[in-house]
Amino acid sequence: MSVPAYHIAVLLNETVDALCIKPDGVYVDATFGGGGHSRALLSRLGPDGRLLAFDQDPDARQNLPADERLTFIASNFRYLDSYLKVHKAENVDGILADLGVSSHQLDEAERGFTHRVDSPLDMRMGPNLPQTAAQVLNTASQEELTRIFKEYGEVKLAYRLAQRIVERRMEISFERSTDLRPLLRGLCPPDGESRLAAQVFQALRIHVNDELSALRDFLQSSAHSLKKGGRVAVISYHSLEDRLVKHFFRSGNFADAPATDLFGTPLRPLNPVNRQAIVPGAEELAGNPRSRSAKLRIAQKA
């Protein structure tokens, strides 16, 4: 079976190995994308095994393998609990999620995820999301734009950028990436403009797709949906995501406020399997530079 040129699965063996696949088990790929992780999972499942794959991006359908063991769910993974009940799979043996934007999404200019080419300011992962990045730039208050850039992009001069956007849209509305890029000039040294653009576009993408709230919902649903001893493996790509995953695995909440019972036993639904995040090795980095920021964390249902 040929694999579509859509996305190179990151930390493939490490992630699938982490789930300790049972041939007759039930598993979830919460971010199907190019299907690389799903294919690896299916290769280890027997005829009675089952895989449920989630993806809200309609383009992901083109990568579905012809395999009756696979059930595709065209939805955001934040609704994991609900859809597993619909498909009579409330208690699963393992769940994986790769939180990265796929190579396909980055390379398709019309999706608007990259600042490197002239493209529409869309950035929606799924077509049913209410706002594009352009609409956010054209309607959000200066205070809201400041919060978005500061909180989701860690942009140092977030207030100044928001001020420039509000002033600019009084003359012309934002439609394309080339409408936004010129406003970044002077906010950092010339050699840092590309990094600043990446931070700004990341912030808009996270806001448009409500990514951090969706991740919180997914992590809580994962804890409910796993069988005792089942595992969840999550690959994150920036500190905001990784912090949520690490805190929830370690403390059972997102404030990282550990709670214990009267005997000092941690009150958390999942137990971390690895203390330090697993990262790509030199060979993977050489073959797929986009994997450089990936971090894999694994937890097991208590």
For the entire predicted model, the pTM comes to 0.91
Residue 7's pLDDT is: 64
The residues facing 56 across adjacent strands are: none
pLDDT tens, 29-57? 999 999 999 999 999 999 999 999 999 99
Q: Are 121 and 137 in contact (CB under 8 A)?
A: yes
Token code pair at residue 236: 């994150």
Give the residues of the chain that fall short of pLDDT 50: 1-5
Give the 3-state secondary structure of residue 273: coil
**Residue 140 and residue 58: Cα distance in Å, rounded?**
28
Residue 3's pLDDT is: 41
Token code pair at residue 272: 């971390």
**255: which residues sit within 8 A by CB, 6+ positions away?**
247
HSE at residue 208, side-chain half, CA atoms within 13 A, is: 26
Give the 3-state secondary structure of residue 96: strand
pLDDT tens, 224-279? 999 999 999 999 999 999 999 999 999 999 999 988 888 878 789 999 999 999 99
**Residue 170 and residue 284: Cα distance in Å, rounded?**
47
Residue 103's pLDDT is: 53
How many other CB atoms are found less than 10 A from the CB of residue 181?
A: 17
Residue 259's pLDDT is: 84
Strands 26-29 and 70-73: unpaired
**278: which residues sit within 8 A by CB, 6+ positions away?**
11, 14, 295, 296, 297, 298
Residue 249's pLDDT is: 97
Token code pair at residue 15: 């992630």
* Domains of the chain, each with CATH number or no CATH: 12-103+211-301 (3.40.50.150), 130-208 (1.10.150.170)
φ, ψ at 295 (rounded to 5°): -135, 130
Residue 243's pLDDT is: 97
Identify the CA nearest to 235 among candidates 297, 299, 300, 301: 297
Identify the CA nearest to 96 among candidates 24, 14, 29, 12: 29
Identify the CA nearest to 75 among candidates 93, 61, 62, 91: 61
Residue 104's pLDDT is: 53
Residue 156's pLDDT is: 92
